[in-house]
Amino acid sequence: MPRTIHCQYLQREAPGLERVPYPGELGKRIYENISAEAWQAWIRHQTMLINEYRLSPIEPQARKFLLEEMEKFLFGGGSSRPAEFVDPDK
C-alpha cells in the first residue's frame, strides 16, 4: 500500500513517491513533500523545457537551469513555459 503525504504542489493528500527521486537534501524534501502525481507533472514539464530550449542534460548549465526550474515548479509557485510554446493538447 503506497504511503500518503500532504503534497505541497497539489495542496492535498495524495500517494507519495516510492523512493527518493533526486540525490541529496532536495531529493529528501521532494520525497517527503511531493506526490507521485506531482512528480510526473514535473517530468512532463521538464521534458517540454528540454525540448523547447534544446537543452542537453549533460551540460552543467542545463542541469543548473533544470534544477532551478524543478524547485520553482514543485515548491515555488510554478515554472513558466517558453513564450513561443504552443501546447499540442489545446
pLDDT by position in tens, the chain (length 90): 679 999 999 999 999 999 999 999 999 999 999 999 999 999 999 999 999 999 998 999 999 999 999 999 999 877 777 666 666 666
In this predicted structure, what is the pLDDT of residue 58?
94
What does the block give as the cell for 45? 514539464
In this predicted structure, what is the pLDDT of residue 90?
61
- Looking at the structure of the chain, the number of domains it has is 1
In this predicted structure, what is the pLDDT of residue 2?
78
29 belongs to a structural domain = yes
In this predicted structure, what is the pLDDT of residue 85?
63
What does the block give as the cell for 67? 534544477
88 belongs to a structural domain = no
Query: Which ranges in 20-88 belong to alpha helices (H)?
Result: 24-33, 36-53, 60-75
pTM of the prediction?
0.85
CATH number reported for the structural domain that contains residue 16 in this entry: 1.10.3880.10
